[in-house]
Amino acid sequence: MAHANYVFTSESVSEGHPDKVCDRISDEIVDLVYREARKAGVDPWSVRVACETLATTNRVVIAGEVRLPPSLMKQDTKSDKMVVNAGRIRSAARRAIRDIGYEQDGFHWKTAKIDVLLHSQSADIAQGVDKAHEVRDQDGVNEIAEGAGDQGIMFGFACRETPELMPAPIYYAHKILETLSTARKAGEGDVAKLGPDAKSQVSIRYENGVPVEATSIVLSTQHVDESWDSKKVREVVEPYIREAMGDLPIADDCVWYINPTGKFVIGGPDGDAGLTGRKIIVDTYGGAAPHGGGAFSGKDTTKVDRSAAYMARYLAKNVVAAKLADRCTIQLAYAIGVAQPVAVYVDLDGTGADVTESEIEKAIRATVDLSPTGIRRHLDLNKPIYGKTAAYGHFGRKPGRDGSFSWEKTDLVAKLKAALKG
C-alpha cells in the first residue's frame, strides 16, 4: 500500500546557478540553430545540435557535435574547409550571460573568455538518425520516419497536487526562485540587490497522499551588499517566498533556513564550476517520479532524451487531465536508429478510474505517432523555444504563443477517451 502520511522534499536552482548558466547557453545555441535555419530557408528537420557547456571563473567552454545551416558556418582560410562560425556562437553565449545578470569581476558577460569547440556530427551517429523508415500514418498515408538519435529510456509524470498537474514540492521550489528572479530584474527595492545565483528547497507534509503544508523552507541566495547577514536576507526575501507559496499553508512551526552559512556574495561560475545537464531532477519532477538517463539542454529534438521526455509528460498529463487516473507515470524506451519505441509502459499507481494500464498503453499507441518524427510534428518542436526551458523546470509551465511548452497542453483528452472506447 502507498505511503499516505509523509514529508517529501524537492529542490530547485535559479537561472544564475553555475549549472543552469551552462544549460541556458547550450539551449540558446539550439535556438540559434533553429532560428538561422528558418531564416536561411534550410529544412529545420535537417539540423543537429548536441552542445555541452562548461563555465568557471571568467571562462566558458562550448563543445559538441552539430550540423548547422550555412549562415553559422564560415570558410577556414588555412584548410579551405567550412568550419563553425565561432563568433556567432560566442555572441549567443554572451547574450545569455547578460540576460541572467552576470556583471561581476569573476564572471562578466563582456569579459569572459569563450572557447568554441563544436564540430560536425559523427557520420556513424548521423546514419542511424537519418536512416529512413517507411511507416503508415493514421490516415493510411505512407511517410518516412527518422530513427531515434540514441538508445534510452524517458519518463513522464503527472498528478493532481497542483493545477499544473505537477508534484507540489518541486512546483513551489521553482516558484520561489522564479518570483525572486522576476522581482530582482524589475529592480524592486532591496530585492534588486540579490544576485543571480540561488537555490531553494521545500519540504511538504502530506496527509492521505494530499499536500497540506510546508514544514521547512531553505533558500540560499547571492547578494551584492557585503554587509547583509542571514537575518537581513530573510527580511528581504520572506514576503516573496510567502507570495510564491500561494494557497499552500506554511506550518506555524515551519523551519526556515535562509542563507544558513551566512554571507553569499561570490556566486555563479566564479564561485563554483558549472556543467550542462547536472540538474536533471530539478528539470523534471524533483525526485517524485523516475528520470531517464539523459539531460535535455543543448540537444535538438532528434535526441529522444529531450523530445520523448516531453512526449511522455504530455501523455501522462493528458491521462490525468482526462480523469483516467489521479497519478500517471509513463516510460518510453528507444533504440538508436529505430523509429518507434521498443516499449511503452504506464503505471497509474493504483489510481486508475475503471481503466487498466494495458488499455492506456494501447490507447497511446493508437492515438500518437511516437517516432521522433511523429513527436516533433505533433508537439511542433522544430522551433527556437528552448532557452526559456533552461531554468525553473521543463514541466508545469504554461504553453506560450511562440509554441514553447507545447507538451503542457491537454488537447489529447478527447482522443484518448475515444481510443479507450474503441
- The catalytic residue positions are 17, 19-20, 52, 65, 199, 264, 272-273, 278-279, 299, 303, 305
Q: Which residues pair with 171 in a beta bridge?
A: none
CA distances from 5 to 167, 169, 208, 215, 218 (A): 15, 15, 6, 13, 22
Residues 6+ apart with CB under 8 A from 1: none
Q: Which of 191, 182, 186, 214 has the alpha carbon at shortest distance from 201? A: 214
Q: Which residues pair with 10 in a beta bridge?
A: 202
Residues 6+ apart with CB under 8 A from 241: 176, 179, 217, 219
For residues 274 and 19, give the distance between their C-alpha atoms in angstroms, rounded to a whole number. Answer: 4
Contact 402, 383 (CB under 8 A): yes
Residues 6+ apart with CB under 8 A from 176: 12, 200, 202, 217, 219, 240, 241, 244, 245
Place of cell 536508429: 337
